[in-house]
Structure formats: C-alpha cells, structure tokens
Chains A and B, each alone.
Chain A
Amino acid sequence: MIMSENGEGGGRTRGHMGPIIITPSTTFFSLLILHLTQNPYNFLLFLVMEGGLVLLGGGANGGGSGGSSGFSTNESAMSEASSYLAETELELGLGLSIGGPTGKINKASGRILTAKDFPVPRRASMNGGTPPSVTVSGTKRAADQSVPHDGGSPTATSQVVGWPPIRSYRMNSLVNNNQAKAPRAEEEHKGINEEEEEEEDKAIKDGSKLKKPNENLGHIGFIKVNMDGIRIGRKVDLNAHSSYHSLASALENMFLRSAGAEKQQLTMPSRLLDGSSEFVLTYEDKEGDWMLVGDVPWMMFLTSVRRLRIMKTSEVNGLAPRFHERNRTQRSKLI
C-alpha cells in the first residue's frame, strides 16, 4: 500500500512513474492513491474530501471543508481540479489496464485502496448530511421495512424493485397464472373475509398497514392506469401501497399534479374515493367488469384488479349495474 504521511505539510509530488506521495495537511482530508505499474499513464490522484470527491493533484487545500461540503462552495478546489484535469487529460481514464503482459495483476508493487481502507457506506462518512434512505442492498419501496445490508439473512425478494429481473410482460402472465390457479386460496379468502371485513374496513379507514403480507397473491406489481382525457397511461406499483388511501393519493399525484394541482392537495384526504371529485377511480377485474374502487377489502381488490381507470363521473353510468346499487349502500362505508 502506497500511502505515506510524512511530517511535512503540503508536500506535492507529481510524476509519471512511481507512487505519488501526498501529505494531507489537515485532518479533514483522506487520501486515495491509485497506482498501477507498467504503464506511464497509470496513476490518477484523487482526494476524497469529506463531502466530496475532487479529481485533483497534490496536496490541494482548496479551502478545506469547513463543515459544508461540495464543489459549489469550494471554488478554489474546483479551479484547481480543472487545471489539474487539463494537465492530466491524457491520464484521465486512459491506459489503466491493470494487467501487464502477463495478464495478471501485479500486486506486489501496489494495490488500489479499497473501501475497506476507508469505512464507507460509505456515504454516511463521505458527507456531512443525513445518510440516504436508499441503501446499497436494494432499492426499497416506501411501504417495506428495511432490509439487512450484509445479505446474510435471506430477504424476501418481493421487497426489491425490479428483482428478480423478469420482464413485466412475463410477470403479468405469471400473476394471471397464479390467480387462475389459486381458486382454493380465494375460497379461503372469501370465507375468512366475512369475519375480517369489519377489521379490514377499520384498517382501511385508519389508512394503516394491513398485517398480513400478500402471500397468496403472487406479485401484483405494476398495473396500468389511464385517466380520461390523458392520452398516455401510467403504471402504478400496487405492492407499494397497503390501502386505498395511499393508492388514491399516489394516483392523484401522478395525474393531477402534472395538471398543475397545488401541492397542498397531497395532504388532503383523497377526493377520488369520496365522490367529491369530478373523477372517479374504477378498476377492471378478472372477469372484465369495471368496478368502483373501494368496494371490496383491499386484499381482495389486489387479487382481482387487472387495471385502473380514472373515469369522469359523468361516464359512470357505463359501469356494471351492481355498481350503482353497491355504490349507494357502500358509499358511507368508504373512507
């Protein structure tokens, strides 16, 4: 490992061969040297500053970190970076083939410092701000709990977006397979639902998460949503929602936000579900019937929904007849 700190401050060495020795002059700087042998254009110097990465040479003390991080407040570092970059244009990204003629990495003459040398997640220590909510081990959806980083314990893969890598076309087909093949599971659902309906209605009213994960349902995933009057449909991920509330809010954001809706609408209870909007949220079920969203318990909805449509209230007459009947009796039950 080629990194040395000597007692002097601000020493600056540059050359095309051999290691670069940089002396950090303040404790705010950590250091990374890339060194490769057998190639004159084989070095690049990075300074990993707290709060940022600067492509830079020498013991740059571009103003230090001073608490705030980032290029924007560090003009001198930036200009130094640019000038260095101009000089080392050739070195930038060229010829960094690790393998020499033997095709093997010559480890003896140096190694690239790895993240192990600098305790990273690496993001938390690099910036002064709050660590990101997105972790390395997977992009999560809002509704899911956090997943362990180290991957030691197996995580349910349904929590990771886009994994396993199966095209949505095929996924939808699989879902339909599972739905088609799970009539028994649905029967069970129906039986249980009688009792659970009250509980689930309450849960829906609270807008809180339902306790049971969607075990029997397969991965519903993304379904299409179209809104009357808007040509291009969108897709919404049903797995990211645990209630009609959250789904309706998301849809309002998706469609009405783009129409210039005010931000405060986000905090208002969903108008799509209570009948006060000029639009009504409907869905097509497995049998091809269009139903009002909110009629059935959330879990049952998930098993039968094929796609969504935000319909103009004036067009509602086209829905299945029982919609009207249920609509009248059930409206009071809707959140």
Chain B
Amino acid sequence: MQKEMAYSFPDEVLKHVFSFIQSDKDRNAVSLVCKSWYEIERWCRRKVFIGNCYAVSPRMVIRRFPEVRSIELKGKPHFADFNLVPDGWGGYVLQWIAEMAGAYPWLGEIRLKRMVVTDESLELIAKSFKNFKVLVLFSCEGFSTDGLAAIAASCKNLRELDLRESEVDDLSGHWLAQFPETCTSLVSLNISCLGSDEVSFSALERLVDRCPNLRSLQLNRAVTLDKIANILRRAPQLVDFGTGNYAAELQPDVFSNLAGAFSSCKELKSLSGFWDVVPAYLPALYSICPRLTSLNLSYATIQSPDLIKLVSHCPRLQRLLFLIQVLDYVEDSGLEELASSCKDLQELRVFPSDPFGVEPNVSLTEQGLVAVSLGCPKLQSVLYFCRRMSNAALVTIAQNCPNLTRFRLCIIEPKTPDYLTLEPLDAGFGAIVEHCKDLRRLSLSGLLTDHVFEYIGTYGKKLEMLSVAFAGDSDLGLHHVLSGCESLRKLEIRDCPFGDKALLANAAKLETMRSLWMSSCAVSFGACKLLGQKMPKLNVEVIDETEPPDSRPESYPVDKLYIYRSVAGPRFDMPPFVWSMDEAVKILH
C-alpha cells in the first residue's frame, strides 16, 4: 500500500505539497511516514530550529538537511540571563558558521539566542553568504562594532539586523556608515542595546532615508528626543518603533514637531524604548494611541497618574492594546485603570523598579494583577513581580483567566508565605495549574512545599517549561514534576532541597526533555556520575568554579548541574570549570 502511494506521486508533487508545511512538528511527522518521504522532505526543508546548540552537531544537521536557508540556534541555559552561568561556559557559534559557510552557500537567515558571537563569526557570515538577509542576535555577546561593520558593508541585501538585548563592545561609532549607499533593503533594525558612542546619528538618518521598506526600528538610548521627529519623518511607514531616551526639557516647538511626526505615522502599532521618560512629552503620542496594539513602557519610570492620563486620552486604545510592559511605579491603581479600559489585553508584564529594596517602594500588590485578570478575560501571558501574594488572589486569577498559557510570578522575597494566612502558596499555584489547562510555562515563587509539585504533576499536562526557586521540601517534589508533567521540555531549578533520588528515579524522563538545570540543590557528584554513565544520550555537565568535584567526597553536592539530551555526544569546548560526566570524556582526561 505504502509503496503504491509513494509511486503514485512524483517527487516534484510531494515537494510542492511539503513546501506548504512550515511547522517543524509537522515536518518531522511527514519525515516519519516512509523512507521516500523522509528523503524528499529532508531535501526540501529550508528552515531548521535547534533549541540547544549542543544537542546536535553542525555536521549532523548538514548531512540530513542539505538545503537549509534559515537556521535558529539557542545556546546558554535560560538561567544565564540571571548570571547563574559563569562566563566562558560555552555557546560559541563560530563552528556552526564555519561548517555552514561551506555547506549552505545560500543560507539567508541566522537567528541566535544566548550565544557567544565573535567578530570573527560575523566576518565569516559577511564573507560566506551572498544572499544573507536576516541576522537576529537575541541576548548574545562577544562581538564588537567591528563585526557589525563587516555585516553592514558586505550584506548587500540585508533585510533584518536585530541586536536586541545583546552586549556589544563599542569600538567606534562608524559601523553604520558601512552600509553602502546602494543598500535600500532594510526592513528591520534594532540597535536598542548599543551604548552612546556606537551610533552615528547622521549615518542612521541617511540609512533610514534610503530604506523605504523599513517597518521596524528600535533606536538606542543615546538618541535624544529631539532627534526622533527627524527619523519619523523619514520613515512614516514604520509599524514598530522604539524611541531612544524620551527626556528633554519641555519646549513647545520640540513638542509640536514630535507630535506632528508621530501623527504622520499612520501604520504605527507598536512602541517601545522610553528610557528616562518625561511625562510632559507623553501627549505627543496621543494621535497614535488609538492604533496601538503593543506598548512597552518597561524602561519608563512613569508614575501611575501619567499612565491613567495616557490611557484616558485615547478612547480607542482599550480595544487594540495587546501587550503592555510597565514598571511597577504604575501601581495597583494604574493596573486597575488598565483593566477597565483595555479589554483585549493578552499579555501583561510588570517589572520592579526597585528589586533590591527591602521595603516596598510603591503600592503594587497582588491586587493589581487580580484587577487585570478580572477586567481582561483574554489574558494569556503574565510576568509579574510583586512583594506579596495570597492563595485567594491566585485562585481568583486562575478562575478569571482560564486561558493563561504563560504565568510567571516572582514574589521578590524568597519563601514569602500567603500574607493573609501565612501559609504556603501551594493552593494558589495549584489553582493556576488546575484551571489553566493550556498552561505551557510556569515560574513559581513564594513559600512552597512539596504539595505544589503534586498539583503541578497532576494537572500540568501541557506544561513545557517550569522554573523553580527556593521551593519544596524533599525529592518528592521533583519526583512529582518529572513523573507527572508529560509535556515537560525545560526544567530549571535553583536553591531547592532536591537530591539524587528523584533524579535517578526519573532518569529516562530526562531523555524526553530538552534540558534540566539544577543549581544550589542537593544532587551529589556520585549521582551525576551514575547518570552520565548510564544514560549515554544525556550530556551531564557539572559546573563548579571553585574546585574540581572529584576533589571532594562523592556524596558532596555539586554546585551546578546541567543535563541535556544530545545526539552529538559530549562537547569539546568545555571550560575548565565544567566537567562532563560522560565516561568516554573522563577516560580522555
């Protein structure tokens, strides 16, 4: 039967059909149907996503998919964002670029997250790919403006250059001028991460001028408010705009110029930036507020009354706003206002303005989030920092927002109990996982016992990513999660009393996940070795910056542990403070 089917369609037809299948999951399924489909599919797969750059080697990818045009790679574990992964851990992209340079001459898109990208890598990209179009470096590091200059100079058809949240070494401000006069293809440029010396404004202006398709532009903080109007007038077609700093002394002509420039941008839907915001200039935005779907004010120290004012002057804002990120200066009252006006809100992120203060500096509590959950039934994604929480509030939120897919709550003080009952917050988070059946991502905080993990294991069937800190009582907690969460892909744990038992008991589960991070827990070196020995498809890496783990007794807990599945075997670029538990590697040592 299968044979008949395979011969009934010529390859060309199948190829054409497959070209409509974009999702990786579907493509993977297609490739499993039969050998000929596998072959056809692998020759026409154009896009590859690799969630862990060490899970597979470049050679393996190239061997299976010879005609890739777009690649996405992720490197360091997520906790690297919070400085838990020491410098030099890894995530180097150079070898990937080098191998792809030879194998994929038509590679057009490279997207990297949390990887170390050197100038050498950038120069190699510039040299090797004639049709290079898209470079996204999300939270990367290791390169300087020299590397950017190489990209700018060589990539004749560059469409996207997005450096969001990356760390760039500033060597000179003239890399932007390297874009040749003939380059008119830019669609997206995000240089918000650059420092003050790294951008020549006149070069930027000229670039914006000659790129009529520019849709997305995020300026860096050094660009002053008075310059915004110049840019906007050159790019009225912008859809997504990030200001530089938004502060200046209030001057009527500057204001009216700015307001006019904004109003000429008829397509503008998304705003960000707003460092150092001066509230007096916010009304310049009123003309575009009715169209806004996304507003990122998370760097703007904007007070609640100003936000209320902004919202209330934009009568139609409420219907279109989908994402808002604000500092908690906005306070409960601001969020309540938001809840009553922005009925279509889908994503809310509230960051703390003073994360290290012991006493709360603003009146932002769980009430703000409860209000939003009540007023915004479409809420799907929450990231919320606050200083107090109650089970009752969490239950209310869970009941109001059953469509939540991402819920990240950070109660700033570790192990904070329910402020009303002084009990752990198990029941509250339990309600979240129970009611929100599509929950894919969850971050826990506050005082939590093993019970919360019981709930998570029981109800969190769609949970893919879980972040845990300062929680749990025993291995039972970890065991609940590993044995119950069927869809779990990424688990990251810090400062929890989880030891060897649950980990070893669920060793096979680890092969179904992308990765597991455990730091400051109670996993012994011996258990790590056992895992490394018995599970060849896992890379078990122990990180310790102070001394080698085998200089201490085997029962001694390891400082940091990172386990990930891999078909490439142990990696060879480990720094001295990372030890692989793979038997083969140890013999070589």
Interface residues of A (CB under 8 A from B): 32, 34, 44, 46, 50-55, 68-72, 81, 85, 92-94, 96-99, 103-105, 112, 114-116, 120-123, 126-129, 132, 134-139, 151, 154-158, 160-171, 173-174, 177-178, 180-181, 218-219, 221-222, 224, 226, 231-235, 237, 288
A162-B509 in contact (CB<8A): no
* Per-position 1/0 for B183-226, Cβ under 8 A of A: 00000000001001100000000000000000000000000000
In angstroms, how far is the closest chain A Cβ from the Cβ of B540? Answer: 14
* A127 (CB) vs chain B CBs: closest residue: B555
Interface residues of B in 338-376 (CB under 8 A from A): 351-356, 358
A160-B414 in contact (CB<8A): yes
B169-A233 in contact (CB<8A): yes
Report chain B residues within 8 Å CB of A81: 530
In the docked arrangement, what's the CA distance between A167 and B476, Å? 31
In the docked arrangement, what's the CA distance between A161 and B83, Å? 7
Report chain A residues within 8 Å CB of B552: 129
A99-B470 contact given A71-B554, A151-B447, A157-B413, CB 8 Å threshold:
no
B483-A163 in contact (CB<8A): no
B484-A97 in contact (CB<8A): yes
A123-B83 in contact (CB<8A): no
In angstroms, how far is the closest chain A Cβ from the Cβ of B565? Answer: 14
Q: Residue B536 at the A interface, CB < 8 A?
A: no
A55-B553 contact given A98-B457, A122-B499, A169-B165, CB 8 Å threshold:
no
Q: Residue B253 at the A interface, CB < 8 A?
A: no
In the docked arrangement, what's the CA distance between A123 and B355, Å? 31
Ordered by A's residue number, 23 sampled pairs between the chains whose C-beta atoms are within 8 Å are A53-B500, A70-B554, A93-B506, A98-B480, A98-B483, A103-B458, A112-B475, A115-B497, A121-B497, A121-B522, A123-B556, A138-B495, A139-B495, A139-B519, A151-B415, A156-B358, A157-B412, A162-B79, A163-B469, A170-B299, A171-B355, A219-B355, A224-B169
In angstroms, how far is the closest chain A Cβ from the Cβ of B216? Answer: 19
Task: Point out the residue from A98, A103, A127 that lies within 8 Å of B556, measured CB to CB.
Answer: A127
Interface residues of B (CB under 8 A from A): 79, 81-84, 87-88, 116, 118-119, 139, 142, 165, 167, 169, 193, 196-197, 275-276, 298-299, 301, 351-356, 358, 385, 410, 412-416, 443, 447, 450, 454, 457-458, 467, 469-470, 473-476, 479-480, 483-484, 494-497, 499-501, 504-510, 519-522, 524, 526-527, 529-530, 534, 552-557, 559
In the docked arrangement, what's the CA distance between A157 and B413, Å? 7
* A81 (CB) vs chain B CBs: closest residue: B530
B414-A157 in contact (CB<8A): yes
* A111 (CB) vs chain B CBs: closest residue: B476
In the docked arrangement, what's the CA distance between A156 and B554, Å? 33
A122-B559 in contact (CB<8A): no
In the docked arrangement, what's the CA distance between A34 and B476, Å? 10
Q: Which of B354, B454, B476, B554 has the most CB of A within 10 A?
A: B554
A163-B474 contact given A93-B504, A99-B458, A122-B499, CB 8 Å threshold:
no
In angstroms, how far is the closest chain A Cβ from the Cβ of B458? Answer: 6
In the docked arrangement, what's the CA distance between A151 and B425, Å? 15
A120-B497 contact given A98-B483, A138-B470, A156-B356, CB 8 Å threshold:
yes
In the docked arrangement, what's the CA distance between A122 and B556, Å? 10
* A129 (CB) vs chain B CBs: closest residue: B553
A71-B529 in contact (CB<8A): yes
* B556 (CB) vs chain A CBs: closest residue: A127
Q: Which of A32, A44, A154, A288 has the most CB of B within 10 A?
A: A154
Task: Point out the residue from B351, B480, B499, B554 that lies within 8 Å of A166, measured CB to CB.
Answer: B351
B522-A122 in contact (CB<8A): yes
In angstroms, how far is the closest chain B Cβ from the Cβ of A31? Answer: 12
B554-A177 in contact (CB<8A): no
Report chain B residues within 8 Å CB of A34: 501, 505
Report chain B residues within 8 Å CB of A92: 504-505, 507-508, 534
B554-A51 in contact (CB<8A): yes
In the docked arrangement, what's the CA distance between A92 and B482, Å? 13
In the docked arrangement, what's the CA distance between A127 and B556, Å? 7
A70-B165 in contact (CB<8A): no
In angstroms, how far is the closest chain B Cβ from the Cβ of A146? Answer: 14
In the docked arrangement, what's the CA distance between A96 and B457, Å? 11
A157-B356 contact given A53-B524, A70-B554, CB 8 Å threshold:
yes
In the docked arrangement, what's the CA distance between A129 and B559, Å? 16
* B359 (CB) vs chain A CBs: closest residue: A154
Q: Which of A98, A155, A165, A169 has the most CB of B within 10 A?
A: A165
* A131 (CB) vs chain B CBs: closest residue: B556
In angstroms, how far is the closest chain A Cβ from the Cβ of B284? Answer: 21
Report chain A residues within 8 Å CB of B298: 170
Report chain B residues within 8 Å CB of A221: 83
Task: Point out the residue from A68, A93, A154, A164 that lies within 8 Å of B385, measured CB to CB.
Answer: A164
A174-B83 in contact (CB<8A): no
A93-B82 contact given A134-B520, A164-B385, CB 8 Å threshold:
no
Task: Point out the residue from A97, A174, A180 that lies within 8 Å of B353, measured CB to CB.
Answer: A174
In angstroms, how far is the closest chain B Cβ from the Cβ of A135? Answer: 8
Task: Point out the residue from B82, B450, B484 that lies within 8 Å of A165, measured CB to CB.
Answer: B82
A162-B494 in contact (CB<8A): yes
Report chain A residues within 8 Å CB of B79: 162
Given A93-B504, A120-B499, A120-B522, 14 more pairs with CB closer than 8 A: A52-B526, A53-B504, A69-B554, A112-B474, A114-B450, A127-B556, A137-B414, A137-B470, A154-B416, A158-B356, A168-B82, A168-B83, A169-B139, A177-B301
Task: Point out the residue from A85, A114, A180, A232 that lies within 8 Å of B142, measured CB to CB.
Answer: A232
A157-B355 in contact (CB<8A): yes
B454-A181 in contact (CB<8A): no
A93-B473 contact given A53-B501, A167-B139, A173-B275, CB 8 Å threshold:
no
In angstroms, how far is the closest chain B Cβ from the Cβ of A190? Answer: 23
In the docked arrangement, what's the CA distance between A298 and B442, Å? 41
A162-B142 in contact (CB<8A): no
In angstroms, how far is the closest chain B Cβ from the Cβ of A98? Answer: 6
In the docked arrangement, what's the CA distance between A288 and B170, Å? 12
In angstroms, how far is the closest chain A Cβ from the Cβ of B198? Answer: 12
B355-A164 in contact (CB<8A): yes
In the docked arrangement, what's the CA distance between A81 and B415, Å? 38
* A154 (CB) vs chain B CBs: closest residue: B413
A231-B413 in contact (CB<8A): no
A96-B139 in contact (CB<8A): no
Report chain A residues within 8 Å CB of B84: 139, 161-162
Task: Point out the residue from A55, A116, A151, A166 that lies within 8 Å of B530, measured CB to CB.
Answer: A55
B276-A177 in contact (CB<8A): yes
In the docked arrangement, what's the CA distance between A292 and B24, Å? 53
Report chain A residues within 8 Å CB of B87: 234-235
In the docked arrangement, what's the CA distance between A10 and B412, Å? 51
Task: Point out the residue from A99, A155, A169 that lies within 8 Å of B193, measured CB to CB.
Answer: A169
* A221 (CB) vs chain B CBs: closest residue: B83
